[in-house]
Structure 1
Amino acid sequence: MNFRLAIPSLNYESATLRSTKPIRWEGVHCDNKTGRVTELSVNSIGGEISSSLLELEHLNYLDLSFNNFNCTRIPSFLGSMGSLTHLDLSSSYFSGLIPHQLGNLSSLRYLSLWNNCGLYVDNLRWMSGLSAIQHLGLSGADLHREVDWLQIMSKFPSLSELYLSGCQLHSLNPSLGFVNFTSVTALDLSSNNFNHEIPNWFSNLSTSLLALELDGASLKGEIPPSIFNYQKLEYLLLYDNYQLTGTIPESIGQLQHLRFLDLNDNSISGSIPSSIGNLSSLQILFLHHNQMNGTVPRSLGLLSNLGQLRIYDNSLTGTLDEGHFSKLLNLKELGISHNAHLFLNVSSNWVPPFQLDSALMSSCKVGPKFPTWLQTQRSLRVLDISKTEISDKVPSWFWNWTSNIETINLSNNHIEGDVSDVLLNSSVLNLRSNHFKGRMPQISANVKELNIADNLLFGPISTFMCQKKNRENELAVLDASNNHLFGELSHCWRLRSNEFRGHIPRQICQLSHLRVLDLANNSLSGPIPNCLKNISAMAFPDPYNGSFSYGYFGFDYNFVYDGNNFMLVPKGHKLEYEKNLAFVKSIDLSCNNLYGSIPTEISVLSELNFLNLSENHLMGNIPEKIESMKELESVDLSWNHLSGEIPPSMSNLTFLSYLDLSYNNLSGRIPSSTQLQSFDAVRYIGNPQLCGDPLPKSCVTNEEFHNRTSIGKTEDDSQNSSFYLGMGFGFAVGFWAVCGVLFFKRTWRHVYFRFLDDIKNWLYVTIVLKVNCCLRRQ
């Protein structure tokens, strides 16, 4: 709803005064005795704020958060509302200079301006008037112009909560010996660019400090021990400071009220202190992506309130047994992956005290036996036991047990089992590099990604693809390479470098989530289906920003391509894709026997990155609307029979970094643009009627052609006759001059015919190499 926020038009106070009791409107609060409006809270509106708001003289609470004021400035007249004690303008799309007049609000205790669109200050001296301020939230505002921000903020005697996240601050003034933040209970300085050590004045912070957030602040050096002396601290966030080093001291055990400890993505070393078991209130412990070593203390098992444990991507060693989990009744996420020398050693009949949502144990030692305790987990949604040295058969209960698990990774083990009669139901499955055998498994409509490469599967691929129960799936990624599969492409699916024959089936257009269509180096014939426009993943922006990963509990874990590369040939040479494959959208139909024209409908695929139709028998024009494919980075249409002119709109493909139109029947001038002239002439050769830069052949303009024609018409007949006579005489002389010399001069004759042999050999080698292109490009 958009309207002009003009209070008299609603006439709150006059309506209230005429009534025997206060009018009750949502978001409006009136004093029970006087009927005066004292509180106003309006959300989900847009427009502008009228100065008529000043008529609410007794208003002390104004909340205009979560509105849309179209990046207009904060009205300066708000500084005249002297009764305000609470002003919340957060997330309301205000921009520009924060008005100095707000400093006149001497009664203001709460001011929140966070998450707007481009607020900034030229100085902060005006804030000295906010003598009663207790809560100050300026997160997201640009404060870098005020170098004395710290001294100014520390002069507020009642300040208890200070939020300055992402304010483009560059210094915490380490040289200061003392900063008067003795009343502050919550301090957020995250997402700034301090680029120095944590200053010593942090030891002067209030002993009542409850929350300290310094994440993403470009801090370096060791964590000062004084931080672990705030015994009432509940939240300590120091993550994403890659140069933060040192160890976690045993004194951390003093923080008995600590509920959230996040030190991930730093360079912290040493072991997990045994005093961690004293943190009886701890609910979240994130120590992942560090350089920690040593064993995991058994005292960790005493944390009965712990819900999320992430210690993955470290160098932890030793054994985790039942004692490490003895009292973890509330544990939902277990993340111990990528600790190569960490061994999970529990008995086969162990029943854990927890019910996990997520179990991430990749690249730890879990095997050789299959972990039977997993069967007790009834709420699991994410399971990763890849690279865990399991050498065992899949238990009989396993596949039915996984029917409600959304993401499974068993890759790079030595797990055995026949999957012929297995029905897979998880959204993401990675079974790569094991010893699974039998026919391809059945898949439900829930499956979106399946990697079953490098196994012992046998049988026709068409059976898997064309089964009736498999046709209505939403499969977006399939890797079944390096098995013993065989058979024709049939009428169901796509695969590079095989011997598939026949037409490209139109059913392929039903794969709306398809990102990579690679049928290159086959023997496919017929036209390119014009229904490719129906592949919506190539036509519309990705609502998930290209991510194939599935995130749970704030944790994104992508493992479909973990440790295995995916090969594509988008720019004339092999490129390896691993995690970034999720951002690639490509069509490669090169090295086939396709004919007909390039369907104009292909221009609908506006999100396509790579298009390779080279080495076919395509005819007709390049689609005029190719400029609609604005994300194209590579276009290869070489070695076809395309004709007509290069569309001028092609020069608008601003991301184009590779283009090959060589060896076609294109004609006319190459459109003038920085883009198309930046490619080598070799990308245009083999088109005899094509001219213009970068080709050496210049184009004849209409005016030049007219001039040449006019000159020819004015020549008299005598000149024409002389010309033709001279031409005949010259031909006779030239012919005998060359042939006569070759006839009587044997050495010249040998050189001449040797030259012809060299030309013949060069042509032969060139043609053979081109014919074998499909063998070289795999």
Structure 2
Amino acid sequence: MRIPFAYLMLLLLSSIAITPLNFILCKGEYSKVTCNLKEKQALLKFKKGLTDPMNWLSSWSECNQQDCCSWIGVRCNNNTGRITELSLGNSFHSQLEDSSLEDEEYYDHTLGGEISSSLNELEFLTSFNLSFNDFKSIQIPSFLGSLRSLTHLDLNVAGFSGLIPHQLGNLSNLHYLGLGDNWGLEADNLHWTSNLLSLKYLKLSDVYAHNYKHRSWPQVLGVLPSSITELHLSGCRLQSIAVPPQGYATIANFTSLRVLDISHNDLNDELKRVLSNFSTSLEILDLNSNNLQALGLSGNKLNGTIPKSLGLLSNLSFLLMGNNSLLRGPIDEAHFYKLSKLEYLDMSSTNLFLNVNSSWVPPFQLKHFRMYSCKMGPNFPVWLRNQKSLKQLWISNSRISDIVPSWFWNWMLQVRFVDISGNQMSGDISGILLNSSFINLSSNRLKGKLPQLTSHVNVLKVSKNSISGPISSFLCERMNRANKLAVLDVSNNLLSGELGNCWMHWESLKHLNLGTNNLFGKIPNSIGNLSRLVSLRLHNNSFAGYLPSTLQNCSQLGFLDICQNKFNQTIPLWIWDMTNLVILSLKSNYFMGKLHQKICDLSSLIVLDLSNNSLSGSIPSCLNKIETMVDAGSLGLSYSAFVYIYDYEPYKESLILDPKGNKLEYENNLPFVRTIDLSRNRLSGLIPSEITALTGMKFLNLSSNNLFGQIPKDIGEMKSLESLDLSMNYISGEIPQSLSSLSFLSCLNLSYNNLSGRIPKSTQLQSFDAYSYIGNAELCGDPLTKNCTRQKESNSDSFSRQGRDDSGKSEFYIGMGVGFAVSFWGVCSVLFCNRTWRHAYFQFVENMTNYIYVIAVLKVKWINGKLRSSQLIT
């Protein structure tokens, strides 16, 4: 039987209509996919918001021929093709135990950025893992509470902060919830967890209980679902606040709980009463740093001496007594008599005195020893030589004034963190080898040449010593080339010579401080290889020439301090394109030229110090575009320019400023400074009125220039001003009344200008002494001795005298004019009427003319003769 053609076409079209779309066109090729197209697009939008420095998600591409269910970290249902798992946890963290890896490498391997709400399209997603990444303190997105199919949500160690969104309580199918170890994550309450009836695992370690009422740990447990089998509340600052007995009844409901971690909290003996209500299902209980094997007394107001009975706690592994300034007295061998299990000892920031015999052999093997800001000296603690397991040594400011024994440097190779700064230790460090990740030898009496480094060294601080020799030898040493150094601070030493051209071997550097040495020469172009640099300190040396344009390659640079050198060019234009600059100090050089308007593009500046140069021209009127100066509390600062975060101790930048006439070192409070110093230059013109928009400014110094005109009348809008110096200019007019409203102003200098009128009366302006106003002849009123009333009377008298003087002068000039006219016409009338006198007068004039002509001709001839004779001689 013949089938009609029309029927065949209908059958073909029907088959096409019901066949799933299995092919997509990409660059002329077809690729088979099984995942849902809408979900694929959701993943691509999610990827677009992420930062991926290692390109882990390179397979996530529109044009990847692979099925998107084959993309890294993606798993789909085998039958439906719908996405069920996103596993994007950073597996690189597991390699950190390898001694060859450093924390810096870990952060280079993390995902970050923003989490797109496009994930709402993944309605069948059951597992979502972003652990061990770094999302730079963003808040956990509340829309995650809409992913109702989730059974596993792992956000541990992912860099989140802020309040935990209560919307997570909508995830009623959730079995696993990990929010732990996110520094800055807070919980105002945990009532939302009561809806998670299927929850088995909950990790809230280091989540701060925001509401004090919810820091009572029995109450915290009371609102959690009883289905939990594993609970981690370490470091949540929970307390054993007394509650009525009936408050413990709900705790007995945890019949399935096998693992409970409440370590590193503030729990005490009340703990025993609460734990007695738990069922026998409990298998693992972690009470570390809650007094059962740890004694934590840090950060209290304990006073008196430490009893020797402390040495009888034979199971003690953690002994923390730091930050108790009232604790005093000696600590000797008896205090450690039976502490054979002691691993962590902290007696820092106390008035205790470690008084042990030089031959003492401790019964313990410490892993961490902190005794900074506590007396150990004057002798070096030789008992340290027996500590074979130590990983952290922190004995800064411990009053040791001894020679560092030679064995110490080899012994130190095993220690990961070493801080012996702020003592008076002496010795020669030439040729020693350093291996610790963090090394702080600053503020001692060490001498010799800079040491050699292994590739493990991440931070090296040797500032404020007597280290000498050429810096180039250290930088170009072959062994030092294979380094991972992020911080190098050798400031305030005796280093000499030029920088050398070996910077291509130091590409890991982020903070470089070579200030206050005897360095000279030009800055080499190879310094542009430091592409990760965020802070460059070359202050107080003898560098000269120009700043190399290759510094533009250091695009992350936020702190540039090259003050007190001999740079003598114009400020290069490219410096105004470095928009990440937060601190720019070029003072005390020989920079010249005008200030370019592009200076206003540096919207993140908090310190602009161009003082003591030869800058000319006017002050740019666009300074109000520097946003951080407008709003003192503005966010978005690149804090990496101020601090390098490390495991045990951050490296902090500091800066010496003298905004109030006294030099002060700013460190912890440096991010809060807002200052502009253009003093001791050749600037001219008016003070731009736009500068009054800088309401966040704290210190403004425009002294010793050629500025004229008036003080802007709205200067009182600069409410945050603490110091204002406009002295030694040509500023005129009256002091604006608005200046008296600056309630934070503690330093004012308007001396040696052309100011006039009365100093506005206010408690603020009269609180300054007369030196703030002297050198202004027409200025009067308190605190000056010049009385404004007497000045007014004096001015009236002078006007009267001037009127009388002017009247007398007028009569004199009128008389003189009349006399001249009478004499002139008298002579003219005689010559006109008497012919003999007229002939004699004109004959006299003609004779004088001829005489002058002859004399002139002879003089010219004599000069020409002299010139010809001199030419012949040559």
> In the alignment, is residue 464 of structure 1 matched against residue 549 of structure 2?
no
Q: How does 1:409-558 map to 2 (within 5 A)?
A: 409-419=489-499, 421=501, 423=503, 426-442=509-525, 443-444=527-528, 445-453=531-539, 455=541, 457=542, 461=544, 463-465=545-547, 467-471=548-552, 473=554, 474=557, 476-481=559-564, 485=566, 487-491=568-572, 495-496=586-587, 501-506=592-597, 508-509=599-600, 514-520=605-611, 524-533=615-624, 535=626, 538-539=629-630, 541=634, 543=637, 548-558=642-652
Partner of 1:598: 687
* Contact 1:217/1:241 (<8 A) preserved: yes
Answer yes or no: is the 8 Å Cα contact 1:295–1:316 preserved in 2.
yes
Residues 154-185 of structure 1, C-alpha deviations (whole Å, 9 max, x = no match): 7657399xxxxxxxxxxxxxxxxxxxxxx995
Determine the structure 1 residue equivalent to 2:318.
Answer: 235
Q: Distance in 1 between matches of 2:644 and 2:167?
A: 38
Higher-Rg member (1/2) = 2
Compared with structure 1, are the counterparts of its residues 647 and 27 closer, same or farther at alpha carbon in structure 2 (3 Å cutoff)? farther
Aligned equivalent of 2:674: 585
Is the counterpart of residue 646 in structure 1 residue 736 in structure 2? yes
Distance change >3 Å, CA 221–CA 136, structure 1 → 2 = farther
**For 1:720-759, what aligned pairs fall within 5 Å after superposition?**
none
Structure in which a larger fraction of residues adopt helix: 2
In 1, the alpha carbon distance for the partners of 2:223 and 2:651 equals 49
State the Cα distance separating 1:235 from its structure 2 match. Answer: 2.4
Partner amino acid for 1:631? S
Report what 2:211 is aligned to.
94
Inter-partner Cα distance in structure 2 for 1:120 and 1:351: 46
Shift of residue 291 of structure 1?
Answer: 0.8
Structure 2 counterpart of 1:635: 724
- Look up the equivalent residue of 1:554 and give its one-letter code: Y
What is the rounded CA distance, in whole Å, between the counterparts of 2:422 and 2:186 in structure 1?
A: 47
Shift of 1:584: 3.6
In structure 1, runs of 5+ residues without a counterpart are 2-22, 29-42, 142-148, 161-182, 189-204, 699-726, 737-778
Q: What residue is the counterpart of 2:306 in the other structure? A: 223
The CA deviation at 1:665 is 8.5
The separation in 2 between residues aligned to 1:546 and 1:631, in whole angstroms, is 25
Secondary structure of 2:736's counterpart equals coil
Q: Write the letter of the residue equivalent to 2:392.
A: Q
Aligned counterpart in structure 1 of residue 248 of structure 2, from 126, 130, 133: 130
Cα distance between partner residues in 1 of 2:704 and 2:381 = 63
* 8 A Cα contact 2:419 2:441, kept in partner: yes
After superposition, the Cα gap between the structure-2 partners of 1:227 and 1:60, relative to the gap in structure 1 and judged at 3 Å, is farther
Cα deviation code 1:466-525 (max 9, x no counterpart): x221345436242453x6x36344546865567765422345446566544344455543
Name the counterpart of 2:4: none
Say which SS state the counterpart of residue 244 (structure 2) adopts.
helix
Residues 539, 259 of structure 1: CA spacing in aligned structure 2 closer, same or farther, 3 A cutoff? Answer: farther
Any conservation in 2 of the 1:515–1:584 contact (CA below 8 Å)?
A: yes
Name the aligned partner's letter for residue 487 of structure 1: N
Quote the residue 1:200 is aligned against: none
The match for 2:400 is: 316
1:379 aligned residue: 456
Secondary structure of the residue aligned to 2:546 is helix
Given that residues 250 and 275 in structure 1 are in contact (C-alpha distance below 8 angstroms), is that contact kept between their aligned partners in structure 2?
no
Aligned to 1:307: 391
CA deviation after TM superposition for structure 1 residue 102, in Å: 5.6
Q: 1:275 to 1:68 in 2, by over 3 A?
A: closer
Deviations 1:582-609 (A, max 9, x none): 3543222345543444334434544321
Paired position in structure 1 for 2:744: 655
What is the one-letter code of the residue matched to 1:26?
A: T
Structure 1 residues 656-689: Cα deviation after superposition (integer angstroms, max 9, x where no partner): 2334567878899988876567667986896979
Distance 1:369 1:113, change over 3 A: closer
Partners of 1:453 and 1:480 within 8 A in 2: yes
Report the secondary structure of 1:553's partner residue. Answer: coil
Q: 2:827 aligns to what? A: none
Query: Between Structure 1 and Structure 2, how many residues are aligned?
Result: 593
Equivalent AA in structure 1 for residue 696 of structure 2: E
1:262 counterpart = 2:346: yes
Q: Do 2:264 and 2:289's aligned partners in 1 also have CA atoms closer than 8 Å?
A: no
Query: In the aligned structure 1, how far is the partner of 2:220 from the partner of 2:521?
Result: 76
SS in 2 for 1:292: coil
Is the contact made by 1:272 and 1:292 (CA closer than 8 Å) also made in structure 2?
Answer: no
Tell me the distance in 2 between the aligned counterparts of 1:86 and 1:212. 27
- The whole-number CA distance in structure 2 between the counterparts of 1:509 and 1:97 is 48
Corresponding residue number in structure 2 for 1:407: 487
Query: How has the CA–CA distance of structure 1 residues 395 and 272 changed in structure 2, closer, same or farther, with 3 Å as cutoff?
Result: farther
Distance 1:100 1:480 in 2: 54
CA–CA distance in structure 2, aligned partners of residues 99 and 332 of structure 1: 37
Q: Does the 8 A contact of 2:732 with 2:756 survive in 1?
A: no
Q: What's the offset of the Cα at 1:393?
A: 4.3
> Alignment RMSD, CA only?
6.0
% identical equivalent positions? 28
Residue 614 to residue 692, structure 1, CA distance change in 2 (3 Å): same
Q: For residues 673 and 296 of structure 1, do their structure 2 counterparts lie closer, same or farther at Cα, with a shift above 3 Å needed?
A: closer
| CA positional deviation for 1:528 | 0.7
Matched with 2:373 is 289
Residue number in structure 1 paired with 2:164: 44
SS in 2 for 1:530: coil
1:15-414 → structure 2 map (5 Å cutoff): 25-26=150-151, 44-46=164-166, 91=208, 93-94=210-211, 124=242, 126-127=244-245, 129-130=247-248, 158=276, 186=288, 188=290, 209-245=292-328, 246-249=330-333, 252=336, 254-271=338-355, 278-280=363-365, 282-293=366-377, 295-296=379-380, 300-301=384-385, 303-316=387-400, 320=404, 323-324=407-408, 330-341=414-425, 343=427, 348=431, 355-364=435-444, 366-371=446-451, 374-375=452-453, 377-394=454-471, 396=473, 398-399=475-476, 401=480, 404-414=484-494
Judge which range, 669-678 or 598-607, deviates more: 669-678
- Residue in 1 that maps onto 2:846: none
Return the TM-score normalized by structure 2. Answer: 0.53
2 CA distance for matches of 1:225 and 1:551?
A: 38
Q: 1:615 to 1:292 in 2, by over 3 A?
A: closer
Residues of 2 paired with 1:619 and 1:609: CA distance? 23
- Does the Cα contact within 8 Å between 1:301 and 1:326 map onto a contact in 2? no
Q: Secondary structure at the match of 1:415?
A: strand
Indicate if the aligned counterparts of 2:442 and 2:465 stay in contact, CA closer than 8 A. yes
Are 2:441 and 2:461, in contact at CA under 8 Å, matched by a contact in 1? yes
Residues 262 and 286 of structure 1 are in contact (CA less than 8 Å); yes or no, is this contact kept in structure 2? yes
State the distance in 2 between where 1:439 and 1:68 align: 45
Contact 2:416 2:436 in 1 (8 A): yes
> Normalising by structure 1, what TM-score?
0.59
Using the alignment, how far apart are the partners of 2:546 and 2:413 within structure 1? 43
Q: 1:69 to 1:432 in 2, by over 3 A?
A: closer
Q: What CA distance in whole angstroms lies between the structure 1 residues aligned with 2:306 and 2:409?
A: 29
Distance 1:432 1:611 in 2: 25
Displacement of 1:72 after TM fit? 7.7
CA distance in 2, matches of 1:664, 1:294: 56
Give the aligned residue type for 2:306.
I
Q: Shift in Å at residue 264 of structure 1? A: 1.5
SS of 1:300 mapped into structure 2: helix
Letter in 2 for 1:407: V
